[in-house]
Amino acid sequence: MNKPDLIKQLQTILPADAVLFAQEDLKPFECDGLSAYRQVPMLVVLPETEAQVRDILLLCRREHVPVVARGAGTGLSGGALPLVDGVLLSLAKFKRIVSLDPLARIARVQPGVRNAAISEAAAAHGLYYAPDPSSQIACTIGGNVAENSGGVHCLKYGLTVHNVLKLRAYTMDGEMLELGSESLDAAGYDLLALFNGSEGMLGVIVEVTVKLLPKPELARVVMAAFASVAQAGAAVGEIIAAGIIPAGLEMMDKLSIHAAEDFVHAGYPLDAEAMLLCESDGTPEEVSEEIAKMEVILKRCGTTSLRTSANEADRLRLWAGRKAAFPAVGRISPDYYCMDGTIPRRELGRVLHRIAELSQEYGLRVANVFHAGDGNLHPLILYDANQPGEFHRAEEIGGKILELCVEVGGTITGEHGVGIEKINQMCAQFQEGELQLFRAVKQAFDPSGLLNPGKVIPTAHRCAEFGKQHVHHGQVAFPELPRF
């Protein structure tokens, strides 16, 4: 079917203003949060009912047109990168909180509801939705499920997968699936777990039921400075060995401390090589007991300065620097490239040392922000896109860092997803056997392979090519997206 015919067909399903095809209307959808990769889609559709979603999928399935679903477009791995010959299905109009049951502590929401809006709606009942990715004021719950988003509190409260009870989704074949349940068991395989983090490749999510938790009465944070990254890392291990699971446990290195301090003036220690933020939440009794224990451990581990938030305003100020770390780094460099590897925490010293060596070797600065409690490292590679070759060098050093994470027993992505960005590193993380099984899982839900094709799971051919690229890398920055 040619494009004008497809538009005509879509206009029978959707109101005229919900089918976008003019170049200037398509342009805003050309990328997600990973703006280095851009592709204007063939068409954009903006359905607002489940029946419309189903009919769009059925039409595209029949006409063999690939579909990419998109939430708020804040993803950092290009998971919502459109296809030149594909339809981009935006869930932006699905922004209703369907119901909120304070007694059963659940909220049923449409996928386009912002993460923070759920907690705002639940606040009146003393409840909140726990996962808090730093983009939470903009990112939407459908995208959170697709990426299995984390946040700074997930060591204690879990990832998205731990906080979602039920999903309604449509497969590419237009079949509605209900996964999970409002009770705590569901019959059959745990397809709910499989859908979390599936990056829009198995189905289009149209409703999400989340678990709400009682809001802790109090939270306080301790900021501790260290003369070395290794010492700060050891202190994290000691806190956990003491039987404490802090609500948040974050580390920043010198470059990110300076960038954040210049930006928000949080009162960070500028002479420190590394800094920890350790948060405790719960009842006032629980918090004072835990904070006291952590202070003792941090002192024993050789902290050079220690500050505990005196009140809520103080606590928020201490967090402001950490939460603004990415934009802060954006102020000291024309561009930056954010990586997302996870490592066993004990390997931190070795990994940071190697990152420093790579930084020297490539002549690019790297700032490190670390969800220290769960081993999720965000190296921010500083570069200038206007300098020829710098983006390619940034991509290369990023790839090396991810392969390093795999080498020490970790993973290429902790919370941002594979998308299109890390598809080559999937060849380093997995063998062909696992990749084959991933392809088979995709086929079980989407036999036609038309839903978000070319993301996450590399083809065998691509991995073979990637093997060769290790020898002469840097030449393929925008490879075409293979179909499978």
Site for other proteins in 431-470 (CB under 8 A): 431, 433-435, 437-438, 440-445, 447, 456-457
Site for other proteins (CB under 8 A): which residue of 93, 95, 162, 354?
Answer: 162
Residues 15-54 that bind other proteins (CB under 8 A): none
Length of the chain: 484
Site for other proteins (CB under 8 A): which residue of 342, 368, 424, 452?
Answer: 342
71 binds other proteins (CB under 8 A): no
215: CB partners within 8 A, 6+ apart: 123, 126, 127, 128
Site for other proteins (CB under 8 A): which residue of 409, 467, 474, 482?
Answer: 409
Task: Please identify, using beta-carbon distances, which residue of 98 and 437 lies nearer to other proteins.
Answer: 437
Residues 85-104 that bind other proteins (CB under 8 A): 101-104
Question: E strands along 121-227, which residues?
Answer: 127-128, 164-170, 176-180, 204-211, 213-214, 218-226
Ramachandran category for residue 272: left, alpha or beta (phi over 0 → left; psi -120 to 50 → alpha): beta
Residues 195-214 that bind other proteins (CB under 8 A): 196-198, 214
Supply the Cα-derived Rg of the chain in whole angstroms: 23
384: CB partners within 8 A, 6+ apart: 333, 334, 335, 390
Q: Which residues sit opposite 128 in a β-bridge?
A: 213
Site for other proteins (CB under 8 A): which residue of 4, 189, 389, 475?
Answer: 189
Give backbone dihedrals phi and psi of 109, rounded to 5 degrees, phi first. Answer: -135, 155
Site for other proteins (CB under 8 A): which residue of 44, 418, 450, 463?
Answer: 418
Task: Please identify, using beta-carbon distances, which residue of 38 and 162 lies nearer to other proteins.
Answer: 162
Question: For residues 129 and 119, is the Cβ–Cβ distance under 8 A?
Answer: yes
344 binds other proteins (CB under 8 A): yes
CB atoms within 10 A of CB 452: 30
Site for other proteins (CB under 8 A): which residue of 335, 374, 407, 465?
Answer: 374
Rounded CA-CA distance 89/82 in Å is: 9
Task: Please identify, using beta-carbon distances, which residue of 72 and 219 lies nearer to other proteins.
Answer: 219
Burial of residue 17 (number of CB atoms within 10 Å: 0-12, 13-18, 19+): exposed
Task: Please identify, using beta-carbon distances, which residue of 7 and 177 lies nearer to other proteins.
Answer: 177
150 binds other proteins (CB under 8 A): yes
Residues 242-281 that bind other proteins (CB under 8 A): 243-245
Task: Please identify, using beta-carbon distances, which residue of 29 and 128 lies nearer to other proteins.
Answer: 128
Q: Which residue has the tokens 């938030």?
A: 309
Site for other proteins (CB under 8 A): which residue of 105, 317, 350, 354?
Answer: 105
Least distance from C-beta 389 to other proteins, angstroms?
A: 28
346 binds other proteins (CB under 8 A): yes
Coil, strand or helix at 300: helix
